[in-house]
Structure 1
């Protein structure tokens, strides 16, 4: 399976995005296809054995749109194109205004009490009155040729869109105006009262203004991506043959030795080989406190070197850097669809054809009722123009683009629209204990022995046994022995028993080191140490039992400090109405002691790594929407099982890969921030959809003459055009409010 992104040009409304999606999904080999109208992008997953990128591009271009693979475009070029589009729309609006203002004065001045010169007035010179309007209207229509080009082409391909509605509406007004001019020149002056040129020109003028405002607003939706793209420096200072050389960022290779001075930005990811400094990583993690870096420390490209000079070896460049990975995650999230958008997609697919039929039937109905062609034409044009599905298509993607961009600024990476929507429903959050609620850096606190060994001897045995273990508790024991300068012994054999402990052969003796379950499984009597182990566990310490040749030798107690913000994070989640659960392989008493300190509601203790996913499923079977927060390899199945998997950014790649949301810094407060942001974004989408649907539900009946039936006013096509433009801009402005969200 391969993934690719395409830039799509020429889309104007949700009908366009729906047609593109439908056409691409029909192709053999397509697994998934989503169009982001606000970002003008198509995201495709496909089987490259069955279909090529060129075939996908051709399918889009057959619909009348331009498609470019992501391999052939960059963001800076895209921004240049957007700036060019904004300038072009503004110029078109200004020139259209120059022609439309005198047109409105000539066509409607007499209604407002203005008197026109006799040579151009309605009563004295109907021929000049009509021909002047034709002359002023024609340049405006020529300036808006794209509406007709795209609208008619999509109509002929049976995939009509917003441009089709505008093209039919304005062309009808213009062509009827030409018909009226012919009649006037044939001696039927009464047709001078039935000219519709000002409607055609004003509709295009107002829609062009709306498109201009929309283009500016759309540019703001991708500001988070632009900011991130601009974080990396353009050049790098590298060491070549003992000299410092400045080269472009693109020229840096893996293995190059780079030199970074105080105040410089780190060009690419790497490892420090000389020097010491502190680095501000806030632009990537949201963490404001600079991080100390020494020889061997990993550093991230685009972070800022604060106060020391360092040399480091480049390990990741280009698309492999942490920054590029974050940008890719945000882009993927912005291009994904939330399930809430499906309703809008379904409606958009049928919307334009239904509107055209409604316009025809309502116009015919009024014509046969009133025998008034002008009245029927007003109805026809008003229905076509007011019923633009732009707002409907922009409602969801704009909110997702801005919301995911905002969360990225806080170091919270939401991977998809589906994860975003599910997160707002979360009612239970499960935290893994070690490395999530606690620091994951335990220390030896107590050593209890039986008469068969001394404390140092027990520590030597335990540390020697744990030398090959990667478990945090084992690392704590090893560290304690090193600090005491104890000489470790050679292990003859080593066996890790996940969820229990380890078994080793040392100097011909069988040694077991692990939890209570390991001892009971091997029928080792623990009565002599039971009271002490219970006391240690009640203090939040983890007792590690050691046996020699099936006889209990002692306990080494290890304690892991609770993270500074764990208690506060749990409190905030409780305020949000969320149940908090802790899951751990630790013994129940230790787990409950930690839970009591932090304020956790429910504890799953002594859970084997392979059983964590089953515990998540158990909560889901209780009807709960569950978020799982973890950082280790053994958390990956549980993260995948949860409705929303949340990985701590300092955790393993496997955990991050399995998660739906990644927290770039190890601050549990970000869990509540992610859920709150999700709630805000979904609320914003619902508001947008409400106004978009509400606008069309109210606007179309009014345009069809619903109020006029009861003696109310008739909707002018010009007012309909203004309302249509305002609806699209209002949806984007509402979505832009998310940029003001603060933690």
Structure 2
């Protein structure tokens, strides 16, 4: 028999089986709709432990069935005739022994498939388990009838070898499925089991992470994992967050900075205050998003489910046709016709089809999470591969959202650029203005200041190393009638780029100017270039002035700029782009851009940091790196390609296998047994699993 789906029962019905439940594998046919329920495993399985138990169960059933199959094969009349053992092994009642041993293999080894058959029939969702169950039951019932007097041939040895191969195929396949889902387990394993909690008297106690509460203070030693999302209250270090955000470079952290639970502390010792407990942590949020995404249905999965259902119907129909053709149009006996029928049903099993898409979903979602790309909506993620236009918010997405020095103009040869910046930064370090902070941030040297004073609305002044230093606006120069005509062209050019210019006076003489702007992220140009290579139109949407927006667009290489748009107009602007017939993705910070993210075909929130609960975004990118936008669209394309490859493999081999199983090649001396059919079917499933695991970002 070729209950090709023999082992599948366990799968299908197993829906409960870990692979399925844990990875949201929705097996073909009707299975997608109901969790697998495995008889012996009772209840719903979820989680790695259930997977392991299922793998062990198949392993145990396989070995026990295989051992019992050895005497069945030896006592089978056909095998005895081939090897001349008929006289030596023939004894009164040996057919009853054959029947008894085969019954054990049928009921014990075949139980997952029989249970699967029952579940599918009661759910009115015939699928793989139905095919396998019908195949093995037909073979067992017919052979048993022969033992008790019906004229014909027994093929118990074909039956038990088929069950053995199906159990083995299931065992191997489930191990592959477990491997596909291990990335999620690796995420869960990031969190340590215990934490060093500081008591009020300063003593340290080790407690389970599950007992931590908000505002608890913890000690983190060098090299240890951070046990909870927290704020540093004492200490300085570098932290490795690569498994959480995909950022390979250690990040410097000091007092007041946040640390993410699961990240690895570097060289410094820290005291931290718990901000989020285990259930509320960033890591828990990531794991939940991954699980939800893996469990969500996609258009491709629905297609696979329909294909699997029809393949089941076709298999049952072809099995019946095969039986009647061999009986009615040839001189072959019922045993031969039955064997061909069983082989057809086994080889046509849609198990690979049921796993083709869910396995790719599990792998792609986990890979994305490891790289800081969190998928909330799988349908939108699939749609991302068709993106024709991508709209970027400017501030905080393409730019850093903070001022920095872009140009330094020196008007007097007796001073150097770095010296001019140093004098300006020395004055500006006493100011809280965003522009002042930009000057201070980009200066390598700051000096002591005496007699600091603000010049209301115009700048600030003070004494640095005995010199009077003023950092002022153009308005101050106009008020004091300081002539800058000889520098007009250069100043005008900076103004046209939307940059803010401040002037530096030393002892009331104009020495130079510093231009500042919202700094363009270094990755933005590269990301736009990658997206344009994919044929995607890159558009910037901003409330900023047209001059500023056009300068950023030129620097980065954008195709189009839509500037001076008010926050409440962004969603309608996205709709206008969609009305051009373009499938549109929107990329923003997930807060101010929420309506636009919701309006877009694909909403991508960038720079979510530790806040993963962005309700309006379909995809959340943990880092503020525009390259990740290109990465997630590239992953969507690759994921879809893998799904299609698996669907083609899962169905395509049937074009050759079904006719061969039905006996079309019999005139040429080629006949497939049920066991060979089971090998083909199991091989296609394992290939789909391995193909999914080869997915790379």
The normalised TM-score by structure 2 is 0.79
Superposed, 1:436-585 pairs within 5 Å as 436-443=397-404, 475-476=434-435, 486-487=453-454, 535-541=493-499, 558-585=516-543
> 1:170 maps to which residue?
136
Match of 1:196 in 2: 155
Q: Return the alpha-carbon distance in structure 1 between the equivalents of residues 689 and 386 of structure 2.
A: 25
Residue pair 2:12, 2:116 contacting (<8 A) in 1 also: no
Q: 1:339 touches 1:417 (CA, 8 Å); kept in 2?
A: no
In the alignment, structure 1 residue 735 sits paired with structure 2 residue 692? yes
- Distance across 2 between alignment mates of 1:157 and 1:410: 40
**Equivalent position to 2:596, from 638, 641, 648:** 638
- Are 1:37 and 2:14 matched, yes or no? no
Deviations 1:356-389 (A, max 9, x none): 3432243123222235212221232122222212
> Matched residues in 1 for 2:124 and 2:234: separation?
66
**Which stretch of structure 1 is more off in the superposition, 281-290 or 127-136?**
127-136
Equivalent residue in structure 1 for 2:231, among 258, 264, 271? 271
Superposed counterparts of 1:668-683, under 5 Å = 668-683=626-641
Structure 2: gaps of 5 or more residues: 1-7, 27-33, 409-423, 458-472, 474-487, 503-512
Distance 2:359 2:692 in 1: 6
Please give the alpha-carbon distance, in whole angstroms, between the structure 1 residues aligned to 2:68 and 2:633: 52
| CA apart distance, 1:42 | 9.0
Q: Secondary structure at the match of 2:392?
A: strand
**Does the C-alpha gap of structure 1 residues 278 and 117 become closer, same or farther in structure 2, counting only changes over 3 Å?**
same
Higher relative contact order (CA 8 A, sep 6+): 2
Quick check: 1:723 aligned with 2:680?
Answer: yes
Aligned equivalent of 1:231: 190
Corresponding residue number in structure 1 for 2:146? 180
Asked if residue 208 in structure 1 is aligned to residue 167 in structure 2, the reply is yes
Write the distance in 1 (CA, Å) between the matches of 2:67 and 2:525.
65
CA contact (8 A) 1:38 1:398 kept: no
Counterpart position of 1:596 = 554
3-state SS in 2 of match to 1:561:
strand
| Aligned equivalents of 2:94, 2:308: Cα separation in 1 | 41
Q: CA deviation at 1:84?
A: 2.3
Give the Å deviation of 1:106. Answer: 4.4
Secondary structure in 2 matching 1:696: helix
SS in 2 for 1:149: helix
Matched, 1:246 2:206: yes
SS in 1 for 2:121: helix
Contact kept in structure 2, 1:37 and 1:393, CA below 8 Å: no
Q: Does 1:377 align with 2:338?
A: yes
2:103 counterpart residue number: 138
> How far off its partner does 1:350 sit?
4.5
For 2:363 and 2:490, how far apart are their aligned partners in 1?
A: 55
Provide closer, same or farther for how the CA distance between residues 727 and 591 of structure 1 changes in structure 2, counting only shifts above 3 A: same
Kindly state the Cα deviation for residue 161 of structure 1 after the two structures are TM-superposed. Answer: 3.5
**Correspondent of 2:266 among 306, 309, 312:** 306
From 86, 91, 104, the equivalent of 2:55 is 86
Aligned mates of 1:269, 1:140 — CA distance in 2: 53
- Residues 564 and 577 (structure 1), Cα distance of their counterparts in 2 relative to 1, 3 Å cut: same
Per the TM alignment, residue 390 of structure 1 is displaced from its structure 2 partner at its CA by 0.9
In the TM superposition, what are the counterparts of 1:428-443 in structure 2 within 5 Å?
428-443=389-404
Pair 1:407–1:378, CA change in 2 (3 A): same
Measured at CA, do residues 479 and 682 of structure 1 come closer, stay the same or move farther in structure 2, by a change above 3 Å?
closer
Partner of 2:276: 316
Matched, 1:401 2:401: no
What is the correspondence of 1:24-173 to structure 2 with a 5 Å cutoff? Answer: 37=20, 39=22, 41=24, 78-107=47-76, 113-116=82-85, 118-120=87-89, 130-144=95-109, 145-155=111-121, 158-173=124-139
In the other structure, the counterpart of 2:375 is 414
Distance in 1 (CA, whole Å) between partners of 2:611 and 2:166 is 49
CA distance in 2, matches of 1:603, 1:704: 63
- SS of aligned partner of 2:374: strand
In the alignment, is the contact (CA less than 8 A) between 2:220 and 2:270 conserved in 1? yes
Indicate the SS of the match to 1:560: strand
Backbone CA RMSD of aligned residues: 3.7
Q: Is 1:255–2:220 an aligned residue pair?
A: no
